[in-house]
A and B are shown apart, each in its own frame.
Chain A
Amino acid sequence: MIHDYIYPEFEVARDYDKCVVCRACERQCANEAHVYKEKYDKMTCINENCVNCHRCVTICPTHALKIVRSGDTYKRNANWQNWIINELVRQAGSGAALLSSMGTPEPYPVYWDKLLINASQVTNPSIDPLREPMEVRMRLGATPGTKPQRGADGRLKTQLPPSLNLSVPIMFSAMSYGSISYNAHSSLAQAAQQLGIYYNTGEGGLHRDFEQYGGNTIVQVASGRFGVHQGYLDMGAAIEIKMGQGAKPGIGGHLPGKKIVEDISRTRMIPEGTDAISPAPHHDIYSIEDLRQLVYSLKEATRYTKPVIVKIAAVHNIAAIASGIARSGADIIAIDGFRGGTGAAPTRIRNSVGIPIELALAAVDSRLREEGIRHRVGLVAGGSIRNSADVVKAIALGADAVYIATGALLALGCHLCRSCHSGKCNWGIATQRPDLVKRLNPEIGAQRLVNLVTAWEREIKEMMGGMGINAIEALRGNRAMLRGVGLNETELNILGVKHAGA
């Protein structure tokens, strides 16, 4: 008989000198990794259950807990690494495809970390953002790209296509109600409103309670069309057609029936307990002309008052695809890089399909410029924007704005345990269990998101001031403000930046 026991990845290390047996950890761990032994009046643990979410570590009143990486290992092998063997063994036992969540943890190059930002010295003064106006407001949308018209009085006709008005070029990207909790959504919606930015419903429809935040909401239309109706489209400030997601390009979504509880079933407009399956393609979009039709039917439905975003995953041929979308009537293209998060995705796809957002963004921006149509469409980059420097670099590469999601969840308490697909998120985010959801206080959550974006805004202004730039538009596509370190010729060419020192 073959035994499939795999030694746990993590060990819960409890300092028994400090533990006062309050049993808080036991109550807080939805994975049931902490167990009280009545006989000895002592805590013990089941390491196999621990997903390393750090909930117990942060709540233990005596700081008696830490989670350590288990030292267990097979014979050292650079090729057949531990995790590769473990995944294989699991599949040999189960016969199933592996499922993961959040962005890929694999050590692919992070180009943000190989780009450096410029600052002025002598020939050009830096600007102090505390003393001088520093503009980070971004109008996100299309411009017609045709010669302006004048009225009979000689004045310019000032009509422009609808746009989003961002107080800072950061938005919360799509996370559906269902994949994340009511309280998580509530936090995002409130924060977006307070910040003067936008959050995105994802493909799960819009809960009635959040209709009040419509002015700061991007409503998504995905292949499953869950929760899409006239009122929904009218409610949002913009409509996003989701063609793909960076973490799982080429496949759809799957929300298991057990998560389709009453509230979610109503919002998604599907029966309780049925699996919510979004097909891989939109069944009415098999080519760019079909996309154009959907773009225009959504525009017709909303009387051309809202910008339409088309969101795509960063894949090999991204520049040509984006160029097609730019001509399809879309106002904004959102590109999601392969390091972007997900509530659940097949592991193999998450870890091996797609390309990094930095390269995708640079390639798309360059291609649209070569074709002379960059100004006819807004460009949003997402898929692992981790801090304000990443935002500055993305904008300098050519983005109008960025989407953040994992970063926003981290602000809400997520500790990146990557087990969202289990539905037992101890932080009340990726779960629908009422006892867990209530751990996230939406007011506090919103405040933390506001804090995060405000802090980034300050940092962005400081970096802009250093470059002597006082309006975000002048940073956009300003690749001379970037230099690469440790990049080869091909990478530099695609990014369109020079090497540091050059």
Chain B
Amino acid sequence: MNHRPPRLEGQDGLRIPAGCAISAFINKDGTRTSGDVIRKSIAVMHERSNGLGGGFAGYGIYPEYKDYFAFHVFYMSTKAKDECEDYLERNYDIINLSKIPTRKHKNITDAPLIWRYFVLPLPTKLDACQKTADEFVAHAVMYINTNIDGAYLFSSGKDMGVFKAVGFPEDVGEFYQLENYAGYAWTAHGRYPTNTPGWWGGAHPFAMLDYSVVHNGEISSYDANRRFIEMFGYDCTLQTDTEVITYIFDYLCRHEGLTLREAASVVAAPFWEVIGKTYDYRKREEWEFLRRAYSSLLITGPFSIILGYSGGLMALNDRLKLRSMVVGERGDTVYIASEECAIRAISPQLDKLWSPDGGEPVIVTINN
């Protein structure tokens, strides 16, 4: 079986620029909505994708297993599957495993084996390495993706899951039967890579634990960000923006204990001039601190990202707002997308519609 094209993103340091479409929504009251809705939204922006990658992340989709890490894995061969399962068995309590259900689709071809595992780290293993469960899992993701040839773990959070493939996003959604999942928040991505033949692992969202990122843009700070984050055990094997952005948020929020708003002030730091003119001295000191302490995590170049996490979504634009992004509200639901049409497609009536300022995070959480 040969699913991998000759030159892959991340291999031999290959980096592929891409343009994209993103869309997301969250029900603040925690109501769970079918994945088919997000599929319809992203389908509207067909022109912004070119069929070389599409994907979704759903939150709240595994209520029956919500205390377990849900691993979604691509296998290029049965050998890779054996090797990976062997690794998982040695380190995790696997309480459920199955193939992820898919339907035959004329536009989705060359699918790898796609498996799902609900797991918890073995307590003995956790004790032995003195890590938290999150750290243990983060390490497993890195380990499997770099060391087990032909295995690619692309979703590892609790009560959430990523579904992605090479194809147009609306086809990817049908392929994965998203109508059978219901979540309180969904994000979607359609990809327009400039020249890659595309491979399944390279599609978005990119996820790490319960963080998932969809992103539209191409960041010019990439290598500065990558070389900084790699000091802390992250391995940017895919060499994509989304991968590094996910690791940055994981590092800032999980490792450094920053709030999302603080993390946003790192990656889209206010200009020095703005900091200098800020009247509130505490705000000024805080911004200056964040900008100095994490100066290498400032992201430049055009980007609009939607970060999904347990219980919320955050949307963020680059400081100059070089990429389009709109936010709409209807009742308890907040919509975010590259284009207004993607929102109107699933919610024709809106109470509110606005375009957030560059560098200004929009954070929406569910009330519980």
Contact = CB atoms under 8 A, between A and B. Distances in A.
Contacts of A467: 220
Interface string B200-224: 0000000000000000011011111
A123 B218 contact: yes
With a 10 A CB-CB cut-off, give which of B221, B230, B290, B293 has the most chain A CB atoms. Answer: B221
> Which of A473, A474, A479 has the largest count of B CB atoms less than 10 A from its CB?
A474
B258 interface: yes
Contact of A471 (B232, B300, B302): B300
Nearest to A123: B17
B164 interface: no
A124 B301 contact: yes
B221 A474 contact: yes
Interface in B306-351: 319-320, 322
Contacts of B291: 139
B299 interface: yes
B285 interface: yes
A156 B262 contact: yes
Given A124-B220, A479-B223, A147 B256 contact: yes
A468 B258 contact: no
B18 interface: yes
B227 A468 contact: no
A158 B298 contact: no
B292 interface: yes
Contacts of A137: 272
A144 B294 CA distance: 11
A374 B231 contact: yes
Contact of A125 (B227, B292, B302): B302
Contact of B224 (A148, A372, A473): A473
A474 B224 contact: yes
A143 B256 CA distance: 14
Contacts of A123: 17-19, 194, 218
Given A132-B320, A155-B286, A471-B269, A143 B220 contact: no
A295 interface: no
B301 A481 contact: no
B296 to A, nearest CB: 6
A458 interface: no
A48 interface: no
B271 A133 contact: yes
A365 B196 CA distance: 31
A478 interface: yes
Contacts of A144: 293
A143 B221 CA distance: 20
B272 A478 contact: no
Interface in B277-297: 282, 285-286, 288-293, 295-296
Which interface residue of A120, A135, A147, A480 has the most chain B CB atoms within 10 A? A480
B302 A473 contact: no
B223 A160 contact: no
A127 B320 contact: yes
B232 A474 contact: no
B273 interface: yes
B272 A135 contact: yes
B292 A470 contact: no
A125 B322 contact: yes
Nearest to B272: A137
Interface in A61-113: none
B258 A372 contact: no
Contacts of B218: 123-124, 468
A310 B42 CA distance: 55
A276 to B, nearest CB: 39
Interface in A155-213: 155-156, 158, 160, 163
Q: Among B220, B221, B269, B296, find the residue whose CB has the most chain A CB atoms closer than 10 A.
A: B220
B197 to A, nearest CB: 17
A221 interface: no
A71 B15 CA distance: 54
B295 A473 contact: yes
B220 A120 contact: yes
Contacts of B101: none
Contacts of A135: 271-272
A144 B256 CA distance: 12
B19 A375 contact: no
A160 B292 contact: yes
Contacts of B225: 474
B13 interface: yes
A478 B222 CA distance: 7
A225 interface: no
B228 interface: yes
A369 B217 CA distance: 27
Contacts of A127: 320
Contacts of A474: 220-221, 224-225, 298-300
Interface string B218-244: 101111110110111000000000000
B276 to A, nearest CB: 10
Nearest to B271: A133
B320 A498 contact: no
Contact of A143 (B292, B299, B300): B292
A329 interface: no
A155 B280 CA distance: 14
B129 to A, nearest CB: 18
A478 B221 CA distance: 7
B61 to A, nearest CB: 32
A369 B17 CA distance: 26
A345 interface: no
B63 interface: no
A173 to B, nearest CB: 23
Contact of B223 (A148, A156, A468, A478): A478
A269 to B, nearest CB: 37
B13 A156 contact: no
A438 interface: no
A133 B217 CA distance: 19
Given A127-B320, A158-B288, A477-B224, 16 more contacts: A120-B220, A132-B320, A133-B271, A139-B291, A156-B290, A160-B292, A374-B231, A468-B301, A473-B224, A473-B295, A474-B221, A474-B225, A478-B220, A479-B223, A480-B222, A481-B223
8 contacts: A155-B282, A160-B289, A468-B218, A468-B302, A475-B221, A477-B224, A477-B228, A480-B15
Interface of A: 120, 123-125, 127, 132-133, 135, 137, 139, 143-144, 147-148, 150, 155-156, 158, 160, 163, 369, 372-375, 467-471, 473-481, 498
